[in-house]
Amino acid sequence: MQIIFATGPEGRYAVLWLIEELAHLNMEFRHNGLLVYLNDDWILEAGLTELPLLSESYVVDAVAHSGEQVCRIRIADVGPVRRVPGIGIFNDDSRTNRSARERVVSILRGFRSSAAFPPIRLVRGRPGYGYPYKLVDGTHRLYCSLAVGFTYVPAAKGFDVDAPPDQEHDAKPLC
């Protein structure tokens, strides 16, 4: 990156704008062609300047899945989340009134301390989907996992509200 300092009023504003932009850098990473941004301030707030990975996925909460089968699924096998335009991967939760920042920082702190989280929810990808699995719940856990370098996620079978009526109850187990 090259920073050019200019003189005069216009140059002063350009430098101030550049400094402001640099203060809000984001971590960028890809998931199956989807470019994802994670605010660096959130990473720092979570204390993740370094995260020595001791496993390939986060710790699953045994109570949260209450006896359901939980599989270890490669993140690369999960199709990317496609939200409507204007809605980012990391968003606020209106049910809990938690901001995207609060949600992400909580997950990242949990990863740092090896806290247990519920498994993400997946369904099998329909023909033509392009990936073995489709995420139906757990976007923040999936993308925070990817951001810290996990290659697998714990997953349980979910329910696809977008599936055609004849395919909404896939009897095949997830794993």
pLDDT digits (tens, 9 = 90+) for 48-90: 876 666 789 999 997 776 778 899 999 999 999 988 887 789 9
132: left (phi over 0), alpha (psi -120 to 50) or beta: alpha
Give the number of C-alpha atoms closer than 13 A to the C-alpha of residue 30, restricted to the C-beta side.
3
Euclidean distance between the first and final Cα of the chain, in Å?
A: 46
33: its two tokens: 């062609």
Give, in degrees to the nearest 5, the angle at Cα 47 between 44 and 51: 110
Rounded mean pLDDT, 3-14: 43
Closest CA to 64 of 172, 155, 168: 155
Closest CA to 122 of 156, 91, 151, 96: 156
pLDDT at 14: 44
pLDDT band at 135 (very low <50, low <70, confident <90, very high): very high
Point out which residues pair with 36 in neighbouring strands: 29
Q: What are phi and psi of 116, to 5 degrees?
A: -90, 140
Is 25 within 8 Å of 31 (Cβ atoms)?
no
pLDDT digits (tens, 9 = 90+) for 116-132: 999 999 999 988 999 99
pLDDT at 87: 78
Give the number of other CB atoms < 10 A from CB of residue 107. 23
* pLDDT at residue 18 greater than cutoff 60: no
H helix count then E strand count, the chain: 4, 8
Element (H, E) at 9: helix 8-22
pLDDT band at 161 (very low <50, low <70, confident <90, very high): low
